[in-house]
């Protein structure tokens, strides 16, 4: 798996809905995944599990060159 093709799901609970600063101790990181589709599947699960908390947010990050 090349670094340019690794994906991570990152997020957690933020201090407010501006999503500027993550609350201490809530950061969650999943991966690496070797495809966007696998990362998106994990992202979907994380979002569904935390749907009722408006302060939670997750994103998919690609490692390496754009």
Inter-residue contact 60 to 40 (CB < 8 Å)? yes
Asked whether the predicted pLDDT for residue 45 surpasses 60, the reply is yes
CA–CA distance, 14 with 20 (Å, rounded to integer)? 7
Which CATH number goes with the domain that contains 42? 3.30.70.2400
Q: Check residue 46 and give its pLDDT.
A: 96
What is this structure's pTM? 0.85
Number of domains in the chain: 1
Confidence of residue 10 (pLDDT cuts 50, 70, 90): very high
Establish how many alpha carbons lie within 13 A of residue 64's alpha carbon, considering only the half-sphere containing its beta carbon. 10
List the domain range (segments joined by +) for residue 27: 3-62
């Amino acid at each position: 798996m090349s670094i340019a093709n690794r994906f991570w799901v990152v997020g957690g609970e933020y201090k407010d809905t501006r999503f500027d600063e993550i609350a201490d101790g809530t950061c969650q990181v999943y991966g690496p995944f070797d495809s966007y589709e696998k990362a998106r599947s994990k992202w979907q699960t994380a979002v569904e599990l935390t749907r009722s908390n408006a302060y939670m947010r997750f994103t998919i990050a690609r490692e390496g060159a754009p």
